[in-house]
Structure 1
Amino acid sequence: MPTKKANPAAEVGTVAKAAVAQPTLTSLRGVADWQEAAAWLRARGIEDIECITPDLAGVPRGKMMPSSKFTSNTSLALPSALYRHTISGEYPEETANFRYEPRDSDLKLTPDLSTLSVVPWETDPTAQVICDIVNTEGSAVSYTPRNVLKNVVRLYTERGWKPVVAPEIEFYLVAKNDDPDYPLHPPKGRSGRSILGGQGYSIAGINEFDELIDDIYHFSEKQGLEIDTLIHEEGPAQLEINLRHGDPIELADQVFMFKRTIREAAMKHGIYATFMAKPMQGQAGSAMHIHQSVVDIDSGRNIFSNKDGSPSKEFFQFIGGMQTYIPKALVMMAPYVNSYRRLTPDMAAPVNTAWGYDNRTTAFRVPVSDPVARRVENRLPSSDSNPYLALAASLGCGLLGIMNKIDPTPPTDESANEGAIDLPRDLLSAVSLLEEEPALAEVFSKEFIGIYAGVKRGEFETFMQVISPWEREFLLLNV
Structure 2
Amino acid sequence: MRFYTAEDVLEKVKENNVKFIRLQFTSMLGTLKNLAITVEDLPRALSGQVRFDSSVVLDRVGSYESDIYLMPDPGTFMIFPWRPREGAVARLLCDVLQPDGTPFFACSRSILKKCRQKAMAGGYQLQVGAEVEFYLFHQDEQGRPLTSTHDRAGYCDLTPVDRGENARRDMVLTLQEMGFDVATSHHEIGPGQHEIILKDDDVLAMADNLITFKFVVRTIAGRHGLHASFMPRPLNYANGSGLHLFLSLWRENANVLADPRGPRGLSSLAEQFIAGILHHAPALTALANPLVNSYKRLRCSPMVPCLTGCAEQLRAAMLRVPAGRGSDTRLLLRSPDPAGNPYLVLAAVLGCGLDGVEKGLVPQWLPEEDPAEKWEQLYREHCLPVDLAGALQALEGDRLLLDLLGQKLAGHYLQYKQEEWQRYQSTVHEWEINEYLVNY
TM-score, L = length of structure 2: 0.91
Asked if residue 150 in structure 1 is aligned to residue 113 in structure 2, the reply is: yes
Deviation at 1:396, TM superposition (A): 1.8
> 3-state SS of the aligned residue for 2:379?
coil
Deviates more, 1:252-261 or 1:29-38: 29-38
Deviation at 1:140, TM superposition (A): 1.3
Structure 2 residue aligned with 1:267, among 212, 219, 222? 222
Distance in 1 of aligned mates of 2:280 and 2:96? 27
Instruction: Give the corresponding residue for 1:26.
Output: none
Instruction: Give the corresponding residue for 1:77.
Output: 51
Note if contact 1:278-1:341 (Cα within 8 Å) is conserved in structure 2. Answer: yes
Distance in 2 of aligned mates of 1:115 and 1:270? 28
Structure 1 residues 38-437: aligned runs within 5 Å: 38-72=10-44, 75-85=49-59, 104-123=65-84, 124-177=87-140, 184-187=147-150, 194-196=151-153, 199-204=154-159, 207-296=162-251, 299-306=252-259, 310-346=265-301, 348-415=303-370, 418=375, 419-421=378-380, 422-437=383-398
Distance in 2 of aligned mates of 1:54 and 1:348? 33
Deviation at 1:339, TM superposition (A): 0.6
Instruction: Give the corresponding residue for 1:449.
Output: 410
Note if contact 2:302-2:316 (Cα within 8 Å) is conserved in structure 1. Answer: no
Q: 1:119 to 1:210 in 2, by over 3 A?
A: same
Distance in 1 of aligned mates of 2:54 and 2:5? 28
Q: What residue ranges of structure 1 are gaps of 5+ in the alignment?
A: 1-28, 92-99, 188-193
Deviation at 1:399, TM superposition (A): 1.4
Deviation at 1:200, TM superposition (A): 1.3
Distance in 2 of aligned mates of 1:57 and 1:122? 28
Letter in 1 for 2:341: N
Q: 1:265 to 1:328 in 2, by over 3 A?
A: same
Instruction: Give the corresponding residue for 1:96.
Output: none
Instruction: Give the corresponding residue for 1:191.
Output: none
Deviation at 1:221, TM superposition (A): 2.5
Query: Stretches of 4+ moved more than 6 A in 1?
Result: 178-183
Letter in 2 for 1:84: L
Q: Which of the pair is proportionally richer in strand? A: 2
Q: 1:230 to 1:325 in 2, by over 3 A?
A: same
Deviation at 1:291, TM superposition (A): 0.7
Q: RMSD of the alignment, in Å? A: 2.4
Deviation at 1:447, TM superposition (A): 2.3
Note if contact 1:354-1:416 (Cα within 8 Å) is conserved in structure 2. Answer: no
Distance in 1 of aligned mates of 2:51 and 2:178? 25
Note if contact 1:184-1:279 (Cα within 8 Å) is conserved in structure 2. Answer: yes
Highest relative contact order (Cα 8 Å, sep 6+), 1 or 2?
1
Note if contact 2:234-2:240 (Cα within 8 Å) is conserved in structure 1. Answer: yes
Alpha-carbon deviations, 1:253-309, whole Å to 9, x = none?
11111111111111111111100000101210000011111111xx21111123757
Q: What residue ranges of structure 2 are gaps of 5+ in the alignment?
A: none
Letter in 1 for 2:368: D
> 3-state SS of the aligned residue for 1:71?
helix
Note if contact 2:317-2:366 (Cα within 8 Å) is conserved in structure 1. Answer: no
Distance in 2 of aligned mates of 1:65 and 1:456? 33
Q: 1:162 to 1:185 in 2, by over 3 A?
A: same
Q: 1:372 to 1:218 in 2, by over 3 A?
A: closer
> 3-state SS of the aligned residue for 1:246?
strand
Alpha-carbon deviations, 1:68-95, whole Å to 9, x = none?
1112467212322223336xx7x7xxxx
Alpha-carbon deviations, 1:403-440, whole Å to 9, x = none?
11110123421355944152111112211110111122
Instruction: Give the corresponding residue for 1:9.
Output: none
Distance in 1 of aligned mates of 2:139 and 2:427? 22
Distance in 1 of aligned mates of 2:37 and 2:349? 36
Distance in 2 of aligned mates of 1:436 and 1:263? 36
Distance in 1 of aligned mates of 2:289 and 2:238? 18
Deviation at 1:181, TM superposition (A): 12
Alpha-carbon deviations, 1:122-149, whole Å to 9, x = none?
3451001100111100001233221221
Instruction: Give the corresponding residue for 1:35.
Output: 7
Deviation at 1:178, TM superposition (A): 7.4
TM-score, L = length of structure 1: 0.84
Letter in 2 for 1:357: E
Q: 1:448 to 1:414 in 2, by over 3 A?
A: farther
Distance in 1 of aligned mates of 2:267 and 2:66? 48
Q: 1:303 to 1:463 in 2, by over 3 A?
A: same
